Amino acid sequence: MTIKDLKPAVVWNNFYGLTRCPRPSKHEEIVRKHLLDWAKEHKVEAFADETGNVIMRVPATPGFEKRKGVVLQGHMDMVPQKTSDTVHDFLKDPIQTVIDGEWVTAQGTTLGADNGMGVAMAMSVAEDKSVKHGPVEILVTYDEETGMTGAEALKPGLLKGDILLNLDSEDELELCIGCAGGLDAQADFKYKSFPTPRGYVGYKIEIKGLAGGHSGMDISLYRANANKIMVRALIPLIERYGAKVANFTGGSLRNAIPFEAEAVVAIPAEKAATALNRINSIFKTLKLRYKESDPGMQCNVTRTNKPARYIEDAVMLNACKAILACPSNVIRMSQSMHGLTETSINLAVIRCQRGHLTVNSLLRSAINESKQELADRVRYIFEFAGAKIKFFGGYPGWTPKPDTPINKLINDMHVKLYGKPMNVMATHGGLECALLGAKYPNWEMVSIGPTVLYPHSPDERVNIAAVERSWNLLKAVLENIPEK
């Protein structure tokens, strides 16, 4: 049995087609062509705008021509994450899906249900002639995961609809009406490298097996950060045992909680045994601390060739201390919406290349002043440690409007279908509604979707039954959109 055998067949078949298309952010050429070819095959009007967003137009079902126009919106790109022991080229290889009981997941990689499932549902509205609806436009943006570039580049006036249904929510019971804004930060430590002295032996330290996850949706789960775990070991190695660090790599994407990190070090031979015992002791303590959120945490230390050169001690030590000092967690929970993260930071990606050690973080907040205050805090920590820091890629939040007609309609349809109301909420994750609403200020906007767990991590999975329930809800909502 494969996902093409699941119901509703039209949705799962369209999702299967997307899993065949390599589509990491900023590499959407293949999936863009797939969408346009699919539209041509199904006789759906479609085009790519001048920047690369794909737009489809679906005429109203006969008798529904006077209904308000609806824009179904999702993004074509996916987060490319895999476990260290998985062989997968995200630029060439299709996603290998697995049916795991009530869930669909992937073999060692992200699944791409974020947001492939939302795009598949939109495509299915265009394909399934039994769905009754007024005028529908489908907007599939690009590069959502690394900056919302497609939404930012969309021109005002290109779309004619009145209501935006964003299909990028990840809990079938949630009716999302707002989201946090974000800001990227990069700290840059400039360093010199030196030949590794005689009498040192090489080791590779690997932190792996952490749960990771979406830095917006999962940050409140207080999972371990692989970069933070690594510096807890590196600082005493440098200070107490005279170790030299040749390389430090951690994390892969600014919006994914880092679940793996790796460092190559050189330790004086006569101190190696004591130093390794110290690493094991530190890790034992940390494993106990995170036994509930990260039960799969591993720390592997193996002998390797002595590195030829190392990063100057003062810079590496200052960088490690700044990484440890900089927060990477929830800063404040919302006081007005129970359970909602208001402000957070994800210390995400560390690289050492060509004389520069860089630390990339993503800051999020529903309140602009709080986001700026956090940015100042990050700036001061890294500047005190000797780094240059820059901020970029800022995007606004989406201010909730609880009392719009579309919110009531969706909730009414959910009660009619499933006997209970949805949870009206805002999300700490970034949604393109914030940028799109600035270009189309008269739109009513809401975000819905099936249940997707652990997006942005290799444990990503989508609930099979939730897909069918969300599809039925979407069909009911479209059938009951009011006239203009």
Residue 393 confidence (pLDDT): 87
Which residues of the chain fall short of a pLDDT of 70? none
Domain boundary, last residue among 395, 414, 434: 395
Q: Which residues contact 329 (CB under 8 A, 6 or more apart)?
A: 219, 222, 225, 344, 345
Q: Which residues contact 68 (CB under 8 A, 6 or more apart)?
A: 134, 161, 162, 163, 481, 482, 483, 484
Q: Which one of 28, 127, 143, 144 is the catalytic residue?
A: 144
Asked whether residue 172 falls in the same domain as residue 309, the answer is: no
Alpha helices (H) in 392-463, listed in sequence order: 405-418, 433-439
Asked whether residue 308 falls in the same domain as residue 371, the answer is: yes
User: Is 484 among the domain residues?
Assistant: no
Residue 321 confidence (pLDDT): 98
Q: What is the CATH number of the domain that holds 384?
A: 3.30.70.360
Residue 399 confidence (pLDDT): 84
**Positive or negative CA dihedral for 394, 439, 429, 348?**
negative
Residue 336 confidence (pLDDT): 74
Asked whether residue 451 falls in the same domain as residue 357, the answer is: no
SS3 content of the chain, % helix, strand, coil (to 5): 30, 30, 40
Q: Angle, nearest 10°, between helix axes 113-127 and 29-41? A: 20
Tell me the residue range of the domain where 369 lies: 183-395
The candidate with the shortest Cα–Cα distance to 473, out of 431, 434, 419, is 419
Asked whether residue 176 falls in the same domain as residue 194, the answer is: no
Asked whether residue 338 falls in the same domain as residue 204, the answer is: yes
Global pTM? 0.78
Q: In Å, how far from its chain's centre is CA 263?
A: 25
Q: Where are the beta strands (DSSP E) in 258-316?
A: 261-268, 298-304, 309-311
Write the pLDDT tens digit of every residue in 389-400.
999 988 888 988
Q: What is the CATH number of the domain that holds 470?
A: 3.40.630.10
Asked whether residue 145 falls in the same domain as residue 235, the answer is: no
Residue 65 confidence (pLDDT): 97
Is 77 known to be catalytic?
Answer: yes
Residue 57 confidence (pLDDT): 98
Residue 430 confidence (pLDDT): 85
Residue 217 confidence (pLDDT): 87
| Secondary structure (3-state) at 483 | strand
Cβ atoms of 150 and 143 closer than 8 Å: yes
Residue 380 confidence (pLDDT): 98
Domain count, the chain: 2
Q: Which one of 28, 77, 162, 459 is the catalytic residue?
A: 77
Asked whether residue 271 falls in the same domain as residue 418, the answer is: no
Query: In one letter, which amino acid is 64?
Result: F
Cβ atoms of 115 and 35 closer than 8 Å: no
How far lies 417's CA from each of 156, 179, 449, 469, in Å? 36, 27, 15, 9
Cβ atoms of 411 and 417 closer than 8 Å: no
**Positive or negative CA dihedral for 422, 424, 427, 430?**
positive
Write the pLDDT tens digit of every residue in 98-127.
999 999 999 999 999 999 999 999 999 999
Domain boundary, last residue among 395, 413, 446: 395
Q: 74 - beta bridge partners?
A: 140
How far lies 2's CA from each of 83, 88, 105, in Å? 23, 20, 12
How far apart, in whole angstroms, are the C-alpha atoms of residue 53 and residue 152?
Answer: 11
Asked whether residue 158 falls in the same domain as residue 207, the answer is: no
Q: Record the tokens describing residue 155, joined without a space.
A: 């021109």
Domain boundary, last residue among 395, 416, 438: 395
How far apart, in whole angstroms, are the C-alpha atoms of residue 229 and residue 396?
Answer: 31
The candidate with the shortest Cα–Cα distance to 424, out of 441, 440, 446, is 446
Asked whether residue 318 falls in the same domain as residue 463, the answer is: no
Asked whether residue 33 falls in the same domain as residue 156, the answer is: yes
Is 188 known to be catalytic?
Answer: no
Query: In one letter, which amino acid is 163?
Result: I
Q: Which residues contact 13 (CB under 8 A, 6 or more apart)?
A: 4
Q: Record the tokens describing residue 188, joined without a space.
A: 């840059």
Residue 98 confidence (pLDDT): 97
How far apart, in whole angstroms, are the C-alpha atoms of residue 56 and residue 125?
Answer: 11
